[in-house]
Amino acid sequence: MKRLIMLLKLSISGANKVINRRRIIKAESWSIEIKLDKVLGFSALKKGMYTLDKKIIVAIKKKNRILIEVYNIIIRFVRDRHLLYITALKIKAKMNPPNELYQYSIMGVKEYCHKSQLPIRVLEKEKERLIYTPEYFGIKKAAEIQTRMSPEIYLVEMSDVDIIGSNSFLIKDKYCLYDMFSIDYYNRYDLRFASLKSIYKNKDVAIMAKDAKQEIKEAIFLLGFASCNYYHLTVELLAKLEYIDKNHDLCHLPIVVDEIIVKTPQLKQLLQVMNVKNHPIIPIKNEYKYRVKKLIYLSDCSWMPVNIKDNTSLINEDFRVSERSLKYIRDTVIAQLQIGKTDARRNIFISRKSTKNQRLINEKEVADLFCQYGFEVICPEELSFKEQVKAFSEASYVAGTSGAALTNIIYCHPEATFICIIPKEYNFNMYATIGKTMDLQSIFLDAHVVNKGEKFYANQFELEINYLREFLDKLKI
């Protein structure tokens, strides 16, 4: 650890900046504070907290890529050591009010309900889910159909529960309640996300949040990790309304959703379309804690973990999803938007050129070649929700790189062809499963990873152009 710190010190000097004495080492997507005064030899400040400001980060990125790797090593080192990380988080909470650090024992929601003798309303029993593996062009291996058992889908009413914006878990009686804890049979999931900062031996968690000091009388829980992501909001959260709205005693209750949803035009439009019972909407601020006197909780109807650990790979269990939910989403959206059948048959390529995470590094070259074969390029983020649905519903061929926008294949007409660019090594079966469930023809193009990210979804990859041209020649559009 001392050697890493010394390397960090030397690299900082290369940026021609002087680090002020109260600083916080900052990574690209999340920050961490480390007590460094003794290691770096500064004695004037006993708290010893140091922050690299954005200008220094930019300078370092330009002059010394190695330093970024050093940051990541230090951050991972501390984050993976629960007690050390707790110390850093306590310091952060004191220095950054109104942040507060909370520590709880972990338990599944269902497990807690049984322990507390709360009545559970089972809406769908455990059942086998079909999982389809992708069929890649040029690889002589046929697509396979696997089955995996999913947990039951249930509803429960709870009282005096704490919820936190942008988080999937509940807080009750000094427990952090989340069913993903209970179904992680092989200890593969990395559930540290948003406010859930650390998990210790699958027993205890550390959570950082701000207290909203606000009480909600009653609500249906529709918060979740990554709810700002179009896929997670559609398939994991709003799909639950199908089960909720069949219970007439719940139709008048408000639903709590993450504030980002009502602030993002396309996500807000999606919410409005799916909210067929006109539930009142209560927006919840990001990582703020609220008390709900009467909470209605519906368990998951899709069971993909938010992350997996670095030393593990995706497996078929990660792609279980309720077929009933997917078809409900399609039928509801098409009906609510009054999108009728059309003879229009478009061939569309979905561009990610405006996204921050540019996965396909040669996208322009790929898009240009698709255009030569009669495809038009669309950028979903530039379209309204209705325009996105309409474009996909009119498409005979949809091609694109792995990403949330491909959730829209749910609205394609049966027998449309879906072409997905994603490295085969990912073993990512969700698009193949959704495609088959919606009666689409799915073809996958294998890309090669050229830059590794911290997680696989942050990787950058390249599609070989001659391989693509061979595929498009054989497609004979």
DSSP track, 333-398? HHHHTT----S--EEEEE--TTSSS--BTTHHHHHHHHHHTT-EEE-GGGS-HHHHHHHHHTEEEE
- CB neighbour list of residue 200: distance below 8 Å, 6 or more residues apart: 82, 83, 206
| Domain membership flag for residue 241 | yes
By the 10 Å C-beta count (0-12 exposed, 13-18 middle, 19+ buried), 137 is classed as: middle
> Where residue 408 sits, what CATH number does that domain have?
3.40.50
| Domain membership flag for residue 454 | yes
Distance CA 163, CA 401 (A): 35
pLDDT on residue 61? 52
For residues 471 and 353, state if they share a domain: yes
For residues 414 and 466, state if they share a domain: yes
Distance CA 58, CA 384 (A): 34
For residues 79 and 107, state if they share a domain: no
| Domain membership flag for residue 326 | no
| Domain membership flag for residue 312 | no
pLDDT on residue 141? 81
For residues 184 and 36, state if they share a domain: no
Distance CA 2, CA 318 (A): 39
By the 10 Å C-beta count (0-12 exposed, 13-18 middle, 19+ buried), 7 is classed as: middle
For residues 414 and 281, state if they share a domain: no
| Domain membership flag for residue 313 | no
pLDDT on residue 458? 86
Q: Closest by alpha carbon to 238, among 325, 169, 125, 304?
A: 325
Kindly state the greatest CA–CA separation across the chain.
75
Q: What is the pLDDT of residues 45-74, one digit of tens each?
A: 333 333 444 555 555 555 566 666 676 777
Name the 3-class secondary structure at 429. Answer: coil
Name the 3-class secondary structure at 216. Answer: strand
Distance CA 291, CA 211 (A): 9
> Residue 85 in contact with residue 154, Cβ under 8 Å?
no
pLDDT on residue 58? 57
pLDDT on residue 313? 92
- DSSP letter at 133? -
For residues 251 and 111, state if they share a domain: yes
Distance CA 457, CA 360 (A): 11
Q: How many residues does the chain have?
A: 477
Sign of the Cα torsion 397, 403, 405, 406 reads positive
| Domain membership flag for residue 270 | yes
In tens digits, what is the pLDDT along the chain, a chain of 477 residues?
A: 444 444 444 443 443 333 333 333 333 333 333 333 333 333 333 333 334 445 555 555 555 666 666 767 777 777 778 888 898 899 889 998 999 999 999 999 999 999 999 999 999 999 999 999 999 999 988 888 999 999 999 999 999 999 999 999 999 999 999 999 999 999 999 999 999 999 998 889 999 999 999 999 999 999 999 999 999 999 999 999 999 999 999 999 999 999 999 999 999 999 999 999 999 999 999 999 999 999 999 999 999 999 999 889 999 999 999 999 999 999 999 999 999 887 778 999 999 887 777 899 999 999 999 999 999 999 999 999 999 999 999 999 999 999 999 999 999 999 899 999 999 999 999 999 999 999 999 999 999 999 988 788 889 999 999 999 999 999 988
By the 10 Å C-beta count (0-12 exposed, 13-18 middle, 19+ buried), 169 is classed as: buried
| Domain membership flag for residue 328 | no
Q: What angle, 0 to 180 degrees and rounded to 10, lies between the N-to-C axes of helices 65-79 and 54-63?
A: 120
Name the 3-class secondary structure at 320. Answer: coil
**How would you label 304-336 residue by residue, b for 16+ Cβ within 10 Å and e otherwise?**
bbbbbeeeeebebbbbbbbbebbebbbebbbee
Distance CA 52, CA 26 (A): 6
- Angle at the Cα of 420 from the Cα atoms of 414 and 426, rounded to 5 degrees: 125
Q: Which helix (H) or strand (E) holds 227?
A: none
Q: Closest by alpha carbon to 457, among 363, 357, 379, 362?
A: 357
Q: What is the pLDDT of residues 466-475, one digit of tens each?
A: 999 999 999 9
For residues 75 and 114, state if they share a domain: no
Distance CA 234, CA 240 (A): 9
Question: What is the tally of structural domains in the chain?
Answer: 3
Q: State phi, psi for 190 to the nearest 5 degrees.
A: -110, 95
> Residue 415 in contact with residue 441, Cβ under 8 Å?
yes
* Separation in Å, CA 465 to CA 239, 405, 436: 38, 23, 27
For residues 166 and 273, state if they share a domain: yes
Alpha helices in 142-240 (DSSP H): 179-183, 230-231
- CB neighbour list of residue 3: distance below 8 Å, 6 or more residues apart: none
| Domain membership flag for residue 317 | no
Range of the domain at 380: 337-475
For residues 80 and 106, state if they share a domain: no
For residues 90 and 173, state if they share a domain: no
